[in-house]
Amino acid sequence: MAYSAKIGPSILSSDLACLGRECMRMMGCGADYLHLDVMDGHFVPNLTFGHPMVECLRKSVGQDPFFDMHMMVSRPEQWVKPMAAAGANQYTFHIESTTNPGNLIKEIRESGMKVGLALKPGTTVEELAPWANQIDMALVMTVEPGFGGQKFMEDMMPKVSWLRSQFPSLDIEVDGGVGPDTIHKCAEAGANMIVSGSAVIGSDDPRSVISLLRTVVAEAIQKRSLDR
- Is pLDDT above 80 for 2? no
Q: Pairing relation of β-strands 137-141 and 114-119?
A: parallel
The C-alpha atoms of residue 72 and residue 79 are separated, in whole angstroms, by 11
Check residue 146 and give its pLDDT. Answer: 85
Check residue 148 and give its pLDDT. Answer: 65
68 is in an annotated binding site: no
Tens digit of each residue's pLDDT (9 = 90 or more) over 48-105: 999 999 999 999 999 999 999 999 999 999 999 999 999 999 999 999 999 999 999 9
Single pTM value for the model: 0.97
Mean pLDDT for all residues in the chain: 96
- Give the pLDDT mean for 37-54: 96
State what percent of residues in the chain have pLDDT above 90: 96
94 is in an annotated binding site: no
32 is in an annotated binding site: no
- Give the pLDDT mean for 136-140: 98
Which is nearest to 73 in space by CA: 100, 99, 93?
93
Helices within the chain (DSSP H only): 19-28, 51-61, 80-86, 101-110, 157-166, 183-189, 198-201, 206-227
146 is in an annotated binding site: yes
Check residue 228 and give its pLDDT. Answer: 74
Q: Which residues are catalytic?
A: 37, 175
177 is in an annotated binding site: yes
